[in-house]
Structure 1
Amino acid sequence: MTEEELYKKLEYTNHTREQRGTMATFILDNPSLILTLLSIILRVEDVISCRASWILECVVRKNKDLLYPYLDEFTLLLPKVQLDSSIRPIAKICELLIISYYAKTPNKSQQHLNKKHLERITTACFDWLIGDHKVAAQAYSMTTLQLLGKTFAWIHPELKILLEQNYHTGSAAYKARARMVLKKIGSA
């Protein structure tokens, strides 16, 4: 399937769980399309890129293994994603990968994510946290950065300052996640 054919298929996919699930199943059955999906996500000003991001999130939730061969491409696209509807699922994918990476039981995330990937995810998460983005992307970024602080010692002090600085102006959801992360950082 060409990129344009997949693009056309995404044009007819809406935000409903049913349609996202159907499209995710299609990608799961055709994992060679992951790179094509990433190419569509890179059309950062196109609303169809958001749909591609939603589908990638669904795919990664079901099978992270399919993304591992494309971690270089995925982490390189992080700073390029612009639309909030794309940033939220991309931030969630980062959170899922990092939660897996820091799991106590050995897993493939620990084998495939390298220092460069972790650094790119760190940079993107700080950008999403500092920038004017929706609370979901910021919440995912908080959790991701809290875990990455286990590898990069400088993250926790910076994250703590940032969360305390923005706490009073944050939404209820922002404050709830910030409290949870600050508590974990404090006990680290």
Structure 2
Amino acid sequence: MTKAQLYEELNYVNHSREKRLYYANLVLSQPELLEPLLEILFDVDDKISCRAAWVFEFMCGENLEAIIPHLDTFTNNVSSVHLDPAVRPMAKICEYLTTAYYGKSDSKIKQHLSESHKEKIIEACFDWMINDEKIAPKAYSMNSLYLLGTEYDWIHPELAMILERDFQMQSSGFKARARHILKKIKKVSS
């Protein structure tokens, strides 16, 4: 399948779990589609990029290690994604990566997620926390930043400051997640 054919196929992706999963499995079964999928995803002003993001998120949810050869591309471009429907899956993938990296179970992500990759994830997550994003990207970012803060000691104070500053102006979903993360930060720092 060519990039143009994949682009056309993405027109059939919708919010349904089955469509996203179908195309995620298609890409997993044909790894050569991953590069064109990312090219479409990171054409950030094209509305189809959102559909590519949905497929990529589901693909990472099914097999996170498939991202390994493309970590540079992902981390170098993740901050450029700005359309709302594409930002949420990007934040979710960052959470997948940090959870795998800092988790107890063995993962190839631990060997392949470099210092540079983590720095770019930190930058993207802080941008999502500070910018006017919906609750989901902020929630995923909080979790990613909390985990990254177990390695980088400057992150927890910055994250706590943002959470406390924005607390009153945010939704109940944000407040619930923020309370949970702030409690974990206080526990780690005491």
Instruction: Give me the TM-score of the superposition, normalised by structure 2.
Output: 0.97
Query: Which position in structure 1 is the counterpart of 2:174?
Result: 174
> In the aligned structure 1, how far is the partner of 2:42 from the partner of 2:114?
22
Measured after TM superposition, the shift of residue 140 of structure 1 is 0.2
Query: Which position in structure 1 is the counterpart of 2:127?
Result: 127
Q: Deviations over 1:124-178 (max 9, x none)?
A: 0000010000100000000000000011110000000000000011101100110
**Structure 2 residue matching 1:180: 3-state secondary structure:** helix
> In the aligned structure 1, how far is the partner of 2:133 from the partner of 2:123?
15
> In the aligned structure 2, how far is the partner of 1:105 from the partner of 1:41?
30
Query: Which position in structure 1 is the counterpart of 2:36?
Result: 36
The runs of at least 4 consecutive aligned structure 1 residues that moved more than 4 Å come to none
Q: Provide structure 2 residue ranges, at least 5 long, that are not aligned to the other structure.
A: none
> In the aligned structure 2, how far is the partner of 1:169 from the partner of 1:131?
13
What is the percent sequence identity of the aligned residues?
47
Please tell me the root mean square deviation across aligned C-alpha atoms, in Å.
0.8
Measured after TM superposition, the shift of residue 106 of structure 1 is 2.7
> In the aligned structure 1, how far is the partner of 2:147 from the partner of 2:69?
23
**Structure 1 residue matching 2:152: 3-state secondary structure:** coil
Q: Deviations over 1:38-74 (max 9, x none)?
A: 1001111111100000000000001011100100000
Matched length: 188
Counterparts of residues 140-179 of structure 1 (less than 5 Å)? 140-179=140-179
> In the aligned structure 2, how far is the partner of 1:125 from the partner of 1:148?
10
> In the aligned structure 1, how far is the partner of 2:186 from the partner of 2:33?
42
**Which range moved further: 169-178 or 105-114?**
105-114
